[in-house]
Amino acid sequence: MIYAVVGGWLVLGALVVVAWRRIGQDQRWRVGVLLLVLAFSLLHQLLFATVTEDAYVSFRYAQNIADGNGPVFNTGDRSETYANFLWLVVIALPRGAFGAEVPTSAVVLSGVAALGCVLVAYFLANRIAALALPEGVEPRRAVGVAAALLTAGANGLAVYGLSGTELPMFALLVLCVAYALVARRPLVAGVLVASAVMTRPEGLALAVVGAGWLVFAAARGRHTWWAPAGFVLGALVFLVPWTAWRLTYYDHFTPEVVLPLGPDWPYLGGFALAHLGFLVPAVVVAGLVAARGRAVEARSALWLLLALAVVHTGFVVFFEEDPGLSWRLLVPVPPLLAVAAVAGSGVLTPMPRPRAASRAVPAATAALTGVAVTVSVLSPEVLERVEAWHTQGAQLAEVGDWLAHYLPRGSVVSAGAPGLLASRAGSQVLVVGLDAERSTLAVPGRSGYAQRQDCADDLPAWYRVATFHRTGTPFWISVYPRAEDASRLVDDLDRAPDFHYVSCP
């Protein structure tokens, strides 16, 4: 699959550079190349194609919604351990309507949302570039193809494209909000912002930037004051009843969260280093656009994209912790920067240029997409970590099957990866998070098997450590039964042919 992705980039990059003029002039060429970009995006997603632990938690909630039990992880327990309500509803709909499997529906829908990001990047870049053109001048729609190609190369979007998580849909909503604002549809933008807030907490940052941008535009006379008012009203139409429902169903206004102790600068540094191909051109374009005083509306649209990227990043770095793969919570940022950089080139050079200059945009886009693909393939934080999680997920699935078959029915398992274990345990055992004090057994690890026996007993005093060797492998797993039931539970688990209990020295 690596060779397919790299080969796809080489062919597509060469085609965009060679046929750039035809792409701009002929709609059939444009549609054909855009379809190839979508195919490349799908290939890039298939390179990873791994369902993450967060997705399994969502599957559990969505399954209960579709089955009529409400948005709960365990039937009868109204605890809100999710932050993606709208995504839960979306992936529950196919099961409720057609009986489709929730995991399959979620993976397909997240992949479709990632492809939707590529399409919206195309339309948004063209829309912004057209704002810089004098009246009557034909827009250069090839700019949109370049933005779509660079977005397809964004490795965060590719990692989570077929993950079954809400992140591609959230990125799509971010781009759609930007398009609605640029297209002067503030009411539609408000509705989309409400959808984004119900999909991810970072939607709050999107709402603040959108409202601030409209207020600033109204103060400068580019919008009426009805624009920010319509934006807020469009958002409140959905956010007010959703909040009222949460108050009555979960009996609290906001979910219980633990804020990080401080900003995670290493996290931000790693993201910036891996995404220089998006950051550098966006910063360069921002500097050049700021130095030029024409095309006010187009420049305002570019500042909107850059503000969305900066504020979203700040929200994540200062207020959230991200234990996921490949800078999970920053997935929308590279597509925003891609559109800003490519559309900015159209704003800086709105009129046709000589042949050499006209090839600069496609050549730079092809090269930067290649940098992004290289990061996908070679960075230890991207493909290597995804492959490691895929292996760990398979191991945790085996652990889940083991517990479901050999623990007494009705046992309560406190787990570090509750989503995946619950997906395998079914109704045989009850799986909860690590904060449960009355669980029958604790499995705190999130990374599958260990390479050696680990007898560390660092859980509360009511647990005991029990280590099991995975038969026929060098792997070990440590579980923590309750002290008063430890002997019985260890005997039950030791009956499995694939796991052999070995007492700690």
pLDDT digits (tens, 9 = 90+) for 83-92: 899 999 999 9
pLDDT for res 357 = 42
Instruction: Give the dihedral sign, CA 169/175/176/178.
Output: positive
Residues whose CB falls within 8 Å of the CB of residue 373, separated by 6 or more in sequence, listed in order: 5, 6, 9, 44, 153, 155
What is the pLDDT confidence band of residue 259, given thresholds at 50, 70 and 90? low
DSSP state of 454: -
Residue 298, pLDDT > 60, answer yes
Least confident of 57-66, 343-352, 446-455: 343-352
Residue 186, pLDDT > 90, answer yes
Beta bridge partners of 497: none
Give the span between the Cα atoms of 399 and 424, in whole angstroms.
9
Residue 246, pLDDT > 60, answer yes
pLDDT for res 329 = 93
Q: Which of 49, 44, 71, 77 is nearest to 58 (CA)?
A: 71
pLDDT for res 139 = 64
What is the pLDDT confidence band of residue 351, given thresholds at 50, 70 and 90? low
Q: Which of 326, 324, 448 is nearest to 377 (CA)?
A: 326
Phi (first) and psi of residue 500, to 5 degrees: -120, 125
pLDDT for res 380 = 86
pLDDT for res 241 = 94
Residue of 359 and 222 predicted with greater confidence: 222
Q: Helix H segments across 99-199?
A: 102-131, 142-152, 155-161, 167-182, 186-197
What is the pLDDT confidence band of residue 257, given thresholds at 50, 70 and 90? low
DSSP state of 480: E
Residue 297, pLDDT > 70, answer yes
Q: Which of 51, 54, 57 is nearest to 432 (CA)?
A: 57
Residue 217, pLDDT > 60, answer yes
pTM of this structure: 0.91
In Å, what is the CA distance from 55 to each residue of 59, 336, 458, 472? 6, 24, 28, 30
pLDDT for res 32 = 93
Residue 136, pLDDT > 60, answer no
The one-letter amino acid code at 83 reads A
pLDDT digits (tens, 9 = 90+) for 108-120: 999 999 999 999 9
Least confident of 95-104, 190-199, 254-263, 489-498: 254-263
